């Protein structure tokens, strides 16, 4: 893992039962409760409360801020940010899907980060029918990369990995759904373990993409870069060279993320609530 990044992961399915969602809500400020309780399904509630806990844990632990003093805001494009960073540069992003919540952050000035966690779901329809639904978001070369897979499982994994690359980039730059996803095209480097991104007619040289797996059914993509730089920091380049290639099958879970338990978060809450 790059020393420039902090990577945290939290599995909500193993963290707490239904009744415990309401219990852990007490650790959060009241104005954040509605974003959890308005969710209809139990797992959506788990993911929502897990996201709120993970970001507060991160700020409390790594910036040493009192738990209840932490306030969050959003940038104009919707990217979450710390309301009062007190002079400390901080860029972070959070994502959740399936059983997992993940957070990626950096305190290195000018670096921007994005992350996308994607649960690889079983399809009822053929993969080509599913992928056709995204014809206006995928480029021709991306479709070729997907369908170069030897079987439908490989093709589906490749689709989700590419989709995660697109989402992580738009989240890093803070544009989200406003961005035309066909402007960017992701493919494997022909000879290196590296994911290339073509933005329009320009090959990106100051952004890094890292694809890994939290478990057999959950992929996670990290994007990090400095749009004002002329080259990529060697530590990010080294981390990028540790990526899974697009379409590469699952082998083992990544060790890049620090995996937290509910007890880890609770202990930080207790330590930092009255400091």
- pLDDT tens sequence across 233-250: 999 999 999 999 999 999
For the chain, the straight-line distance linking the first and the last C-alpha, in angstroms and rounded, comes to 31
pLDDT score, position 176 = 72
Of 56 and 227, the one with more pLDDT: 56
| Average pLDDT score, the chain | 93
Of 194 and 16, the one with more pLDDT: 194
pLDDT score, position 274 = 59
pTM for the model stands at 0.94
For range 184-197, the mean pLDDT: 96
d(CA 262, CA 273): 16
Residue 87 has pLDDT above 80, yes or no: no
- Bridge partner residues of 27 (DSSP): none
Of 1 and 119, the one with more pLDDT: 119
53-85 tens-digit pLDDT: 999 999 999 999 999 999 999 988 888 999 876
Strand locations in 30-79, DSSP E?
Answer: 72-74
Topology of domain 6-272 in CATH is: Ribosomal Protein L22; Chain A (3.90.470)
**What confidence tier does 32 reach under pLDDT thresholds 50, 70, 90?**
very high
CB of 173 within 8 A of CB of 198? no
8-state DSSP, 116: E
**What confidence tier does 35 reach under pLDDT thresholds 50, 70, 90?**
very high
pLDDT score, position 54 = 98
- Bridge partner residues of 10 (DSSP): 101, 260
**What confidence tier does 18 reach under pLDDT thresholds 50, 70, 90?**
low
pLDDT score, position 14 = 86
pLDDT score, position 21 = 87
């Amino acid at each position: 893992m790059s020393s420039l990044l902090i990577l945290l992961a939290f599995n909500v399915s193993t963290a707490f039962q239904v009744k415990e969602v309401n219990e852990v809500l007490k650790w959060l400020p009241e104005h954040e409760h509605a974003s959890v309780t308005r969710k209809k399904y139990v797992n959506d509630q788990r993911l929502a409360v897990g996201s709120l806990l993970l970001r507060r844990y991160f700020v409390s632990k790594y910036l040493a801020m009192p738990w209840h003093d932490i306030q969050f805001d959003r940038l104009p494009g919707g990217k979450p940010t710390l309301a009062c960073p007190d002079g400390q540069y901080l860029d972070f992003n959070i994502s959740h899907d399936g059983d997992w919540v993940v957070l990626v952050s950096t305190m290195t000035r000018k670096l921007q980060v994005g992350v996308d966690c994607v649960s690889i779901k079983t399809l009822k329809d053929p993969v080509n029918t599913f992928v056709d639904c995204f014809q206006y978001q995928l480029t021709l070369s991306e479709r070729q990369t997907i369908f170069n897979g030897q079987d439908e499982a490989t093709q589906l994994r490749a689709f989700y990995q590419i989709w995660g690359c697109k989402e992580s980039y738009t989240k890093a730059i803070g544009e989200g759904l406003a961005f035309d996803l066909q402007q960017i095209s992701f493919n494997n480097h022909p000879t290196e373990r590296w994911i290339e991104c073509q933005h329009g007619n320009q090959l990106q040289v100051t952004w890094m993409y890292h694809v890994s797996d939290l478990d057999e059914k959950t992929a996670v993509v990290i994007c990090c870069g400095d749009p004002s730089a002329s080259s990529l920091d060697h530590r990010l380049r080294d981390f990028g060279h540790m990526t899974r290639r697009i379409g590469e099958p699952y082998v083992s879970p990544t060790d890049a993320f620090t995996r937290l338990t509910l007890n880890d978060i609770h202990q930080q809450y207790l330590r930092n609530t009255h400091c």
